[in-house]
A and B are shown apart, each in its own frame.
Chain A
């Protein structure tokens, strides 16, 4: 398996623009997570899905952020409008099951820079 695939790897945009980050989880994994990583706050969980259903979105910073998982093989994280403070590396991760191992498989991340 190719692992978790994220796109784009790098995104530079101007404040106010819409940003869409994409994720393809590992086939067969029931859980999908979106994390944001910054120097100041470390790894923050934004939202996670189980079987395509959002379970916990308490980490989504504000209404400008939205996430969807229309099917088991695709998820998006959208920021509209983007702001400079959204600059970070966004990771998608998937997991086969929550209980037994809890192992998260991370993608390589999407580095977002908002000017």
Chain B
């Protein structure tokens, strides 16, 4: 069973546009929601993360929006650039559990056209 559901699977955006990737989860015990960015031939790297006590976190052009009641969170990339072209993974974990493992979404392949 997929613990974190991510959409869309792929996304094409024009340079300067807004890229939006959505994720949903069921486990209300999740309390940490990171996003990872992966370039071709590389491993994923942490991009930005949020905890459920805030509804939004912004770092530069990247913003996470979090809706606790709907159990959804999303990544917004403002003024998208060709260099943002990568695969993005949302994830979630319950850091209070014994295992505390991260559950990843399936990934979104973002292409930004120049």
Contacts and interface: CB of A to CB of B under 8 A. Distances in A.
A102 B102 contact: yes
Contacts, number: 50
A93 interface: yes
A64 interface: no
A55 interface: yes
B74 interface: no
Interface of B: 32, 34, 36, 41-46, 49, 89, 93, 95, 99-102, 104-107
Interface string A41-73: 111010010000001100000000000000000
Interface residues of A, number: 21
Given A43-B89, A91-B43, A108-B43, A102 B104 contact: no
B99 A102 contact: no
Per CB-CB distance, the 5 closest pairs between chain A and chain B, nearest first, are A106-B43, A42-B106, A43-B104, A98-B100, A103-B46
B91 to A, nearest CB: 9
B34 A106 contact: no
B43 A99 contact: no
Interface of A: 4, 41-43, 45, 48, 55-56, 91, 93, 98-99, 101-109
A105 B49 CA distance: 14
B100 A106 contact: no
B44 A102 contact: no
13 contacts: A43-B107, A45-B101, A55-B99, A56-B99, A101-B49, A102-B34, A103-B34, A105-B45, A106-B45, A107-B43, A108-B43, A109-B41, A109-B43
Given A56-B99, A99-B100, A104 B107 contact: no
Contacts of B105: 42
Given A43-B89, A56-B101, A102 B32 contact: yes
A20 to B, nearest CB: 19
B104 A93 contact: no
